A and B are shown apart, each in its own frame.
Chain A
Amino acid sequence: MRALVRAIRLVSHTPDGNYSRTIRLSPGLNVIRGENGIGKTQIIQAMIYALGLERMLATRANAPLGSALTSEVRTKLGEGREAASRVIGSWVAIELENENGQSLVAQRHVMHSTIRPDLVRVWAQPVLTRNIGGGSPSDYFLHASGSATHERGFHRLLADFLGWQLPSVPTYSGRQIPLYIDVVFPFLVVDQQSWGSATPRKVERYQIRDPLRHSFEFLLALNGPIAQKRRAELEELMAELRTTWAATKSALEASVGVLGGRLIGVPVQPAGSASRKGAVEQTDLSSAHIELFRNGEWRSADSVVEKLQEELRRLRAALQREVREQVDEARSRELTQLRDEYAEVTAAAHLIDQDMSISEAQLTVLDRRLDGLSEERDRNSDIRTLVRLGSQTAAQHIADHNCPTCQQPLDGLESEHLGPTLSVDDTISLLNSQINTTKKMRDQAQVAVEYSASAFAALQRQADQLRVRIRALEADLLEPVAEVSQADIAARITLELQLEEIGRVQDKFAEGIFTLEELATRIASARNEINALPEGIPDSDVLLIDEVSQTMTRYLKDSRFRSYSPSQVHLDRDSLRPTREGFDIDIDVSASDVVRMKIAYLEAVRSVGMSVGPHPGILVLDEPRQQDIDPSDFGTILRYLGVAAKGTGQIIVTSATPKGELDRLLRGTQATNVELGDQKLLQADRSVDALDAGV
C-alpha cells in the first residue's frame, strides 16, 4: 500500500527552554537543502529512530542520533560564536499517511525521566501537521520479542498500516522467522554511511539467509516464493496423507489378517503420492476386496461367505432330523483323510515359516545396505558442493583437486596407486543404479515376507479348523450311535463363528475403503496442484525482474554511468542484485558510479514495486552527492527522480548543494524544496506542544 511521510518533528528540552523543528514534506520529489553540519542527517536519523528501525543501521540498540537530541543544543549567536544548552529531555516524531487516508503519528523519546526509549506513543490523527488536540496516544513497544507479531508491537502496527503481510523466511539455522520490517527498509532508506555499496544495507542481525533477495521478492510481490511456499505446504500435506493412507491400509490388513485373509486391489500408496509429471488420475479402489484361503486356494470373501452359508443350511437340516445313520465307517475314513490333510498343512506351514525367517533376515540386510548406499551417495553429492565452495574461497586443493604446493593432481593420494578412479559424478550414478537395484531386491523381499506371512496365517487357521473337526470326529467314534453327532454340532458352531467373524471384518473393510477413497482423492488433487505450480522462477517474475533491470539500465545511462557501458549491468535473476559478469560492482566502479547504480537500482525497485507489489513508494536518500557526483549529473538524477515521483509516491533527498546551484539544477523539475538555510536545525520554541510529555 502506498504511503507518504507528511512530517518529522524533533524536540529538545533544555534548562533554557525548548528547541524544536518540524519538517513538512509533500508527495513527489522533496529536496531538503542546508549547509553542511546544520543537521540534515539528523532529520533522516530521526525518521529512522521514530519508526524504531535504528537496528537496520547497527547491531547495537543505541540510536545513532546527534548531540542536539542527546547532549547539548548549540545555537548561533552571530559573528561565529555559538551558545550551548544541556539537553534534559528530547523526542522525535513522524507523521505518515497511507493510501486509505489514515494517519499514523509515532513519537519516540530519546531522553526522558520516565518514558523508556523502547516505548512508541501513537496517534491515529495527523497531530503534527494539523493543530488538532489529538487526544490521548496509545502505547506500543519496540525491540522486544513480539514487537513484529504482538498486538501491541509497534512493528506489527507499522506493517498493518503499510498493508504489509510479511512472509516467513529461512534463517541460517533452518528456522522460519518473519521477514522483519527493518530487513526490508534498507530498500526505502539510504543512510549516509551506506553509499559505499550499490546494494541496500544487508541486515544480518536476524541471521536471515539472503535478506536482500527476500526483501526484493517481497516488495515486488514475486510469485516464485509464493509458489515455493505453497509447494512446501502441499508436500507437507502429502506426507501426512501418505502416512494416513499407510496406517489405514495396515489397520485393514491387520483385521483381514485375523481371518488369515489378504487384501487385494489396495496399492501401497495411491496415484499421485510420488512426484511425477502430468495429470494424475485418482486410484480406483472399486476392485478392492478381501481374499480368504480356503482348501488350498485364495477365494474372494463374498464367495466364501456364500459357500459357508450354503453349508450351514445343509448342516441345520441334517441336525433337525436328529437321526443318525450308521456312518462309523464313513467317519473313520473321513478321520484318516483329515489327519493326512492336517499333517500336510502343518508341514507346509513349517516350510513357509522357515522361508519367512530367511526373507526377513534378507530384508534387514537390504535395509542396512540401502542406508549405507544412500549415505555414500549423500557424501558424494557433498563433494560436489564442497568443490563449489572451495572455488568460492580459493581453497585450491578442494576446488581443483591439485596439490597446493606441487600443483600435481591428488589422485594418487585417494586411490593408493590402484589405478584410475571413477569421477565423483560417475560414482553418484553408479551408486544410484546400485540403490535402484537394491530397492527392487528389497521390494521383492518385502513381497515375499508379506506373502509368506499371510499364507502362514491362513494355513494356521486351516490347521485349527482341521483340529476341531478331527477332535469332534474322534469323540463321535467313541460315543453311542443314537445321539446327535458332536462333529455336526462342532461344524455348525465353527461355521457360524466364521460367518460372524467374516461379516465383522467386511464391515471394517467397507469403512476403511471409504477412508482410503477419500485419501486417494485428496492425494491426487494435491499432486495435480503441485504439478500446476510453476517450476523455478515463474515467467511473470522474470518479466518483473527484467523490467527492474531495464529501468535501472535506463537510469544509469541518463545519469552518465561511466565505469563501463551501462548495458553490461543487469539484474542477476538469482541474487536479484545488479551485476556485471565476473566483476565485483562495489569495487570495480568509481565511488560516484556506485551511487549512480544504487539510486538507479532502488528507484527501479520503487517504481516497479509500487505498481505491482506492496512497496509504499517512499525512497529516502541521505546526501548522495557526498561521493562527488558532478553537478550536472546530480541534476540529471534529480530530474529523473522528479519525473518518476510525479504523482506516484515520494522521494526525499538531502543535499548540501549551494542554494543557487540547486535552484538551477531543479529548473524544470517538479520538486518541493525544503530550505533549512544556514541556521542550526533546532530553534528556540516558546509554543505549547500537545504531544509533549515533559522531561
Chain B
Amino acid sequence: MNLHAPALFDEPEEEGSGGAYWEIAAQSSPTHDAADLNVPVVFRRQPRPISARQRVAYRSGLLLLILSKFNRNAAKLENIHLLTWATRSSRTRRILIAWLSGHTSARLVGYRTDPELPVTISLAIVDGLVSPTGNGQRVKLTDKGVLLANMIDSERDLFRLEKEFLARLGALSDASIARRMGGVSR
C-alpha cells in the first residue's frame, strides 16, 4: 500500500508543491516594467494649484461663519485666530475639542495663530462685512455681514465640515472660551 503524501490532486511540478507557494507570495508584491517609463519628459510652466484655504473668498466666508457663531456676532482677535486655525484639518479640530473639554495632556502648545487672518479681516472691514470694536481688540459682524452669514448658514452643503465642527463646540463667546481653556496659555 502506498502511504506517501496523499496526492489529492495531480502534482503540479517535479520540485513539489513549494514552487506554487512562492508564486502566490510573489503575486502579492507586483513589480513594474521600467521600459514603460522610457518616454521623453517635457517641462511646461503651468498655473499652480493653491490650497482653498489660501483663497480670499474661502477665508472671508470662514471669518463670517465663525463670527456668526459667537455671542452677539463678535469675538476677540485671538479667538478668531484660534478657531480659524482649528478648522484646518481633522487633527487641529481634534486638538481644539480636546482643549475645550479640558484635556491637559493636549495642552503642550496652546498658542495658535493664522498668519493670513489680519489681511482677511482688513478686506472684510473695507467691504463693510465686519467692523472693529473694543479698541480694535474685537471684530463684529455688520448688518451686511450678518446677512451674508445667514445666507452662508442656510446653504446646507456650504462649509459642511466647518459647520459640524463649530456646532460641536457648543455656544461660543470670548468668556466661554476663556473659561473652558482655563489655564491654557494662548
Interface residues of A (CB under 8 A from B): 172, 174, 209, 294-297, 299, 304, 307-308, 311, 318, 321, 325, 327, 330-331, 333-334, 337-338, 340-341, 344-345, 348, 351-352, 355-356, 359, 371-372, 375-376, 378-383, 385-387, 389-390, 392-398, 401, 403-405, 410, 413-415, 418-424, 426-427, 430, 448, 451-452, 455, 459, 469, 485, 487-488, 491
Contact = CB atoms under 8 A, between A and B. Distances in A.
A352 B25 contact: yes
A423 B12 CA distance: 59
A307 B9 CA distance: 8
A422 B154 CA distance: 29
A345 B148 contact: no
- The residue in B57, B126, B151 that gathers the most chain A C-beta atoms within 10 A of its C-beta is B57
B4 interface: yes
A386 B58 contact: yes
Given A352-B24, A452-B28, A172 B153 contact: yes
B56 A401 contact: yes
Contacts of B155: 385, 389
A299 B17 CA distance: 14
Nearest to A337: B5
B154 A209 contact: yes
Q: Which 7 A-B pairs have the closest CB atoms?
A: A296-B20, A379-B52, A344-B18, A348-B21, A296-B17, A420-B47, A386-B61
Contacts of B135: none
A interface secondary structure, majority: helix
A422 B50 contact: yes
Contacts of B17: 295-296, 341, 344
Contacts of A403: 123, 126
B47 A414 contact: no
B53 A401 contact: no
B157 to A, nearest CB: 8
Contacts, number: 198
A418 B48 contact: yes
A153 B62 CA distance: 43
Interface string B16-57: 111111111101111000000000000001111111111111
- The residue in B3, B60, B123, B144 that gathers the most chain A C-beta atoms within 10 A of its C-beta is B3
B161 interface: yes
Given A172-B154, A393-B147, A395-B129, A330 B58 contact: no
Interface string B122-136: 011011010000000
B126 A379 contact: no
30 contacts: A295-B11, A297-B20, A311-B8, A318-B1, A327-B1, A330-B3, A331-B3, A344-B18, A352-B24, A355-B25, A375-B161, A378-B160, A383-B58, A386-B57, A386-B158, A390-B60, A393-B144, A395-B127, A397-B127, A398-B61, A398-B127, A401-B57, A403-B123, A404-B127, A415-B50, A419-B45, A420-B48, A426-B47, A426-B49, A459-B24
Contact of B19 (A296, A380, A383, A394): A296
A213 to B, nearest CB: 14
Contacts of B53: 379
Interface in B158-185: 158-161
B158 A385 contact: yes
A294 B18 CA distance: 12
A414 B60 contact: no
A352 B57 CA distance: 50
Nearest to B119: A413
B49 A421 contact: yes
A589 B60 CA distance: 36
A401 B54 CA distance: 13
Given A296-B21, A422-B49, A448-B28, A414 B3 contact: no
A435 to B, nearest CB: 13
Given A337-B16, A355-B25, A397-B126, 16 more contacts: A297-B20, A330-B3, A341-B16, A344-B17, A359-B28, A371-B90, A378-B161, A381-B157, A382-B158, A386-B60, A394-B144, A418-B48, A422-B47, A426-B49, A455-B25, A459-B24
Given A382-B158, A395-B144, A422-B49, A297 B25 contact: no
A325 B48 contact: no
Given A174-B156, A397-B123, A419 B27 contact: no
B27 A348 contact: no
Interface string B56-74: 1110110000000000000
Given A340-B18, A427-B49, A296 B148 contact: no
A334 B123 contact: no
B152 interface: yes
B8 A307 contact: yes
A295 B27 contact: no
A331 B2 CA distance: 10
Contacts of B25: 348, 351-352, 355, 455
Contacts of A423: 47
B84 to A, nearest CB: 13
A415 B158 CA distance: 24
A348 B22 CA distance: 6
B185 to A, nearest CB: 30
Nearest to A333: B4
A482 B133 CA distance: 103
Given A331-B3, A427-B49, A355 B28 contact: yes
A393 to B, nearest CB: 4
Interface string B64-91: 0000000000000000000000000110
A317 to B, nearest CB: 9
A488 B3 contact: yes
A339 B15 CA distance: 14
A485 B158 contact: no
B69 to A, nearest CB: 14
- The residue in A345, A397, A415, A421 that gathers the most chain B C-beta atoms within 10 A of its C-beta is A397
A383 B157 CA distance: 12
B159 A382 contact: yes
Contact of A487 (B3, B21, B51): B3
